[in-house]
Structure 1
Amino acid sequence: MSERMLGGCKCGLVRYEGIRLDAPMFRCHCRDCQQLTGSGHSEMMPLAREDFAITDTCKTYEMSGGSGQSTFSGFCPNCGSQITRNSQRMSDRIYVHASSLDDPGKYEPEKSIYPNSAQVWDEAAIIKG
């Protein structure tokens, strides 16, 4: 069954919708996620790129990912809320920050990625498995 996910930013300017992709939801401890969120990690839910729609007000910041290929971070130009992450490497999906979901209770992290990059004060958040 395909589950439609809805979400957006804090101020309501940016809205999105998409279908939940059958791929793991995860907690990312990479340095990029730390700097972009201002916290120890980000919480990411994968949505199918082909069914994803977002208002054109979303701004995108391009950077080089760990693979050397471009990754993109989408955020609201008004309130600054982090909304999306996607990459050239996994072009079939777009990740949304779990806190941007209208119903964040639908997010259930299954694993941590880049746990070796976790800050000492955030190691308790690593999902071991």
Structure 2
Amino acid sequence: MFRCHCRDCQQLTGSGHSEMVPLALDDFTISDTCKTYEMLGGSGQPTFSGFCPTCGSQITRNSQRMSDRIYVHASSLDDPGKYDPEKSIYQNSAQEWDEAAILKG
């Protein structure tokens, strides 16, 4: 579990970072269909954001670059209280006003 400070996550969440749970794509299922938004990520390769077709809440992220993984937004978990991030990634992209959220680890 991690906190991502990349510019893509900032723009998609409207905040300074996103809270993510990485899972093996083969182990992941979702009960309803997500709408998907495709964009070019910072790597220059396609990334995909899954969101609720009813309310627009972000649910998942995945990318062509790491096609065996899916990243679930912690706030979309049935019990987000179980989320316990271990580290931050892309700290160099963190906004100055969000630097206190950077986790060491």
Length-normalised TM-score, structure 2? 0.92
Distance 1:111 1:66 in 2: 20
TM-fit CA distance, 1:46: 1.0
SS of the aligned residue for 1:53 comes to: coil
Partners of 2:59 and 2:30 lie apart in 1 by: 10
| Structure 2 residue 66 is matched with structure 1 residue 57 | no
Structure 2 unaligned blocks of 5 or more: none
Pick aligned residue for 1:90 from 59, 66, 70: 66
Using CA pairs under 8 Å that are at least 6 residues apart, name the structure with larger relative contact order, 1 or 2: 2
Q: 1:75 aligns with which of 42, 46, 51?
A: 51
Residues paired across the two proteins, number:
105
Q: Does 1:27 align with 2:14?
A: no
Percent identity of equivalent pairs: 89
Query: Which residue matches 1:112?
Result: 88
> Are 2:8 and 2:42, in contact at CA under 8 Å, matched by a contact in 1?
no
For 1:111 and 1:35, locate their aligned partners in 2 and report how far apart those are by CA, in whole Å. 20
Cα distance in structure 2, aligned partners of 1:127 and 1:114:
11
Q: In the alignment, which of 44, 47, 50 is matched to residue 20 of structure 2? A: 44
Shift of 1:55: 4.2
Q: CA deviation at 1:105?
A: 2.1
Query: Which blocks of at least 5 consecutive residues in structure 1 are unaligned?
Result: 1-24
CA 1:56–1:102: 2 relative to 1, 3 Å? closer
Give per-residue Cα distances to partners, 1:105-124, cap 9 Å, x unaligned: 22111111111111111110
